[in-house]
Amino acid sequence: MSNPPDETLAQAAVTALTGQLALAPKPGLPDPRDRGARATGRDHNSLRWSAKALEPGLAAMAAAAHRTGSATSELRAELGAIGRSTEHSVGLAGGGHRGALWVLGLLVAAAALEPRATGRDLAATAKRLAAHPDRKAPRRPSRGSSVSVEYGAAGARGEARAGFPHVRRALSALAAARSAGAPEPYARLDALLTVMSTLQDTELLYTAGPHGLRHVQAGARGVLEAGGTATEAGRAALAAFDDVLHARAWSPRGSSGLLAGALFLDSLPLPVVVSSPARAA
């Protein structure tokens, strides 16, 4: 049974996910323009609704972490079981968010284990959790794992076992864009493009192959090199990039879940450092 801190973490994670969904234009990804799934095949309102179905499962993951107290193999197995149950619930609510559930589930559990840690330290805690095998996971290979083997891409598991490097890159991009004076929606879009520019997205590899992946990475870099989405030139490059991805039905879905993870870590309160009183001279 979860308690208020567990529920608060779960709510923050869902808020991060819906915040990611609200951004527009997101090249090749569902956003508020997608009413009735005209552009990406996923209706924006349906995705917002099904995102809410993650909250009970995420709260249960936080509760499991609080109860266990450390990043053990037993906790990893429990998180896997909760995750599969949550996937079923999300499917009944409309589906989607499988990648985001993986990212947010590990990060929520890490935040429950280390409530005073910073975002980057929490990524390290999630890395320790992901290092344990999920002993009760189905043995059949997933599409992502099959693509990872075929192309040598890290995939979702590799990203977690490396300590979520693209979540950390997104956090750095957010900080840089904000420091440069970019409004928050543009800072978030720049963070998304930063992830896209280097992520070996297994969904893209499956649908578009290595050539398509390289094209998407180059397109994301092009927007950033044009000045980012806070500039007129960057927004023009983003619009052109978005048109190309929609025309080719290429969807870099892995990037969106990692951005949600970064937004979740970014939303957590900074740990309070209590300094010891200065000694009298």
Domain range summary for the chain, segments of one domain joined by +: 4-133+161-266
| Residue found under tokens 């989405």 | 229
Give, in order, the Cα–Cα distances in Å from 11 to each of 51, 168, 187.
11, 21, 22
Highest mean pLDDT among 2-11, 26-35, 67-76: 67-76
For residue range 156-170, list pLDDT tens digits in order. 889 999 999 999 999
Determine which of 7-21, 23-37, 187-201, 258-272 has the lowest per-residue pLDDT on average.
23-37
Helix axes 119-130, 98-113, angle to 10 degrees: 110
Question: Which pLDDT score, from 0 to 100, does residue 191 have?
Answer: 98
Smallest CA-to-CA distance from 106 within 157, 141, 68 is with 157
pLDDT band (50, 70, 90) for residue 257: very high
CB 202 within 8 A of CB 147: yes
Mean pLDDT calculated for residue range 230-258: 95
Residue of higher predicted confidence among 139 and 257: 257
What number of other Cβ atoms are within 10 A of residue 14's Cβ?
23
How confident is residue 175, by pLDDT bands cut at 50, 70 and 90? very high
pLDDT at 33 over 80: no
Q: Kindly calculate the radius of gyration of the chain based on its CA atoms and give it in whole angstroms.
A: 19
Q: Is 176 helix (H, G, I), strand (E, B) or coil?
A: helix
HSE-CB at 77 with a 13 A cutoff on CA atoms is 5
Contact indicator for 101, 90 with CB cutoff of 8 Å: yes
71: nearest Cα among 123, 12, 137: 123
pLDDT of residue 96 exceeding 90: no
* Mean pLDDT, range 48-65, rounded to an integer: 94
Q: What is the mean pLDDT of residues 14-25?
A: 95
Which pLDDT does position 277 carry in this prediction?
Answer: 45
* Cα 38 from Cα 277, distance rounded (Å): 61
pLDDT on residue 279: 43
Residue 40 has pLDDT above 60, yes or no: no
Q: Please determine, for residue 42, whether its predicted confidence score (pLDDT) is greater than 70.
A: no
The predicted structure's pLDDT at residue 160 = 95
If you average pLDDT over every residue of the chain, what do you get?
A: 89
Q: Please check the confidence at residue 199 and state whether its pLDDT lies above 80.
A: yes
Q: Are 77 and 135 in contact (CB under 8 A)?
A: yes
Strands (E) in the chain, as ranges, are none
Question: What's the CA gap between 57 and 62, in Å, rounded?
Answer: 9
